[in-house]
Amino acid sequence: MSINDILKERASLFKGQASSYRSKASKLSWARFAVFLLIITNGIIYLNDGYQAYYLIPLAGLLALFIWLIIKHKAADYQYQINHELSMINEEELQRTDLDFKAMENGLTFDEEDHPYTNDLDVFGEHSLFQMINRSPLVNAQKVLAKWLKKKSDTTTIRARQDALKELKNKTDWRQHLTATARVIVAKQKKKTNQEELNQLFNWLKKPTSTKGVIFMQFCGYFLALTNLITLLLVAFEIVSYHAFLVSFLTSMIALSYSYSRCLELGEQLNKSHIIIKTYYNLIVAIEEEEFESSQLKRIRNVLYEGKASASIKELDHITYRFSSRANIFYGFIDPLFMLDYQLLVKAIKWKNAQSSQIEKWFDVVDEMSALVSIGGFYYLNQDYSFPTISSKGFILKGTEIGHPLIDKNQRVNNDFDMGKEGDVGIITGSNMSGKSTFERTVGVNIVLAQLGAPVCAKSFEIAPMEIFTSMRTKDNLEESTSSFYAELKRIKQLINHVEANEVTFYVIDEVLKGTNSEDRHKGAVSIANQLSGKKCFGLISTHDLSLSKLTEENPHIVNYSFNSTINGDQIIFDYKLTDGPCKSFNASKLMENMGIIPKSA
């Protein structure tokens, strides 16, 4: 069965399960409403029949049934949401197999204007590497993935991620369930982002909280709650007058005024955080309960399991849920009876003092796992990709059948490439539209994937960790009165400075100095090639200037490559294959003839 068939089958399965749970939740909702009406009816009879105590027994039973139905409805609704998201996840995976990323997060918020390569290599934005890889809706998990995409990793880190991804690829159910658990939050948050909720939580954790009066509140809360319950029972059995309960209840309300402002302030910081905390709790439980073999996945699980993260976050989840429940209309009646605000404040302060130092570390490893799960999903969809060999020697870049992952596999043309000598400069000449720029991006994108720890679009690939720098899409800036040519010069100057300041850099320059006349372009390009040759770098420079290929006669670090085309009548035929040596065919005149710009030759 093909990957597409599996994804279609899974999407259909989860869609059916979602429909079933939705139906169940609806029935439970109606049952809950019916029991609520019975409670109201029983309460009216109790009041109209002279407060007969025996009516309290069925009333208590109905209340217990109502609470049970609430719990069951909540569980069924959650399962509906999970299965709905699982169905959507598999539908989106099908879209990814067609390179349809319109519905995917583009990651542009993580891009940097002057980054060494992300803009030129389509790392972020529409139809980007980020859209192809990211599966997590959590902003901090996306940040982790973006950070990995924007920065090279060392050999040890890359190999550890490779091992983790090989394991995660085969955990399809677990991977997708983890992603679905995180996605449920998006449906609930509407316009609010999970980053805002996390900021609220971390602000509370970092802000000093006074422990003044905690012991008093704990003692007073239990004492007054017990007094209220005892007097309520005595009134119910007509042992004392209802005035005794009113006095006790009023005393509780006065006592609660002591904690009102603190509860209000804490509630504003925490009551909005409940959904994100619940989500992270569910993710932590899923990670703690799974068994792993690879070192990186084991490390993540151990941070959570050995720190008893799930138990601690469950307690915080309970606290924040109760804060969010304070807005409920019934809370105002129940609060003085059981002294809920006192208990809530005490729990929150005690939890913060005991556990707050660990929570950011726990959330960080959950975000790390979510990023790995995204890359694991990318690997699952692209099982024909291969993991690169990571060398520790430096200046190694070679591969066979290298292709661009963002081009449909039925249309892309793969190439072999081997360039691994310190200081070498590859000059790529070629006719218009022959594939020079695409090949340069192909090599660059696969280096990014390799250093991410992901499989690459190649039959085989070997690299050593290296910096990447590109100069491909330079453009003018009207605000800064900068021409495209000057922008390119600035970029190349950045490259030269970058090479001098960093170890092992692979660079790509597309259509070098394209914004000036042929004489100046040639002079500048020769200077650039000579400045880069022999340095702690190697890379590719594409050009239409065929005379640059003659640099091999005087500089042993210059290597010639080319893309060629053939002309058959009015048709220009491209094979998009990289060839050793300078270009032997150009097609500009034929293109202009075909466009009617110049007269056709006889």
* pLDDT tens per residue, range 130-149: 999 999 999 999 999 999 99
Exposure b/e, 128-164, CB count within 10 A at least 16 = b? bbbbbbbbbbbbbbbbbbbebbbebbeeebbbbbbbb
Residue count of the chain, please give it.
Answer: 602
Q: pLDDT tens-digit profile of 334-378?
A: 777 777 777 777 888 888 888 878 898 999 999 999 999 999 999
Q: pLDDT tens-digit profile of 310-322?
A: 999 999 888 888 8
- Segment (H or E) for 282: helix 274-289
pLDDT, residue 223, reads 82
pLDDT, residue 481, reads 41
| CA–CA separation, 252 and 220 (whole Å) | 9
- Greatest CA separation found in the chain? 118
- Segment (H or E) for 460: strand 460-463
pLDDT tier at 15, thresholds 50, 70, 90: very high
SS3 assignment, position 6: helix
The burial of 243, by beta-carbon neighbours within 10 Å (0-12 exposed, 13-18 middle, 19 or more buried), is given as exposed
SS3 assignment, position 400: strand
DSSP-derived pairing of the beta strands 425-430 and 537-543: parallel
Torsion of CA 535, 538, 543, 549, to 10 degrees: 70
pLDDT, residue 549, reads 87
387: its two tokens: 């993991």
| CA–CA separation, 176 and 89 (whole Å) | 7
Q: Is the pLDDT of residue 192 over 80?
A: no
Q: pLDDT tens-digit profile of 158-182?
A: 999 999 999 999 999 999 999 999 9
What whole-number percentage of the chain has pLDDT above 70?
A: 87
The pLDDT mean for the chain works out to 86
Q: Is the pLDDT of residue 50 over 70?
A: no
Q: pLDDT tens-digit profile of 523-561?
A: 888 999 999 998 889 999 998 888 888 899 889 999 999
141: its two tokens: 């998990």
